[in-house]
Amino acid sequence: MDLLQMIEMTNENNHFMNHNNMKLTELEYDHAVVEHEVKEESHNLFGGIHGGVYFTLADCAAGSAARTNGTKYVTLNNSFEFFRGTKSPVIRAYAKVRQRGKTICVIAVDVKDGEDKLLAGGTFTYFATGTFE
């Protein structure tokens, strides 16, 4: 499966991402960008974007970057930090593979707003479960 097909498959079949207004917009080997269109349901009780949105966006981008080698992965572990809020109508997660082994893949992710301000970021570790058929 080529990378364009992976983008299409993800955007059509990942119901969790669709439910959360997230879309895979860029995919290259070891790199992915996922964006979130901020809506009313994206906000927490205090009117800011819920931290779970930042985290979910980052996890989806990291998983997409990991899969660019044609292998299926599941999240094994992560470390994630929140830095600031934003009023931007769109936020994006930029994921880049830092290390890829036979069964483990480590990805660094930055979440940024429309003005390229760093909102959150972290490191995600994924475990390989098999290859795409």
* Residue ranges making up the domain that contains 62: 3-131
Number of domains, the chain: 1
Closest C-alpha among 99, 98, 17 to residue 61: 17
For residue 128, what pLDDT is reported? 97
For residue 133, what pLDDT is reported? 65
Cα atoms in the 13 Å half-sphere on the side-chain side of 130: 2
CATH number, position 60: 3.10.129.10
The span from the CA of 133 to the CA of 97, in Å, is: 22
Low-confidence ranges of the chain (pLDDT < 70): 133
pTM: 0.95
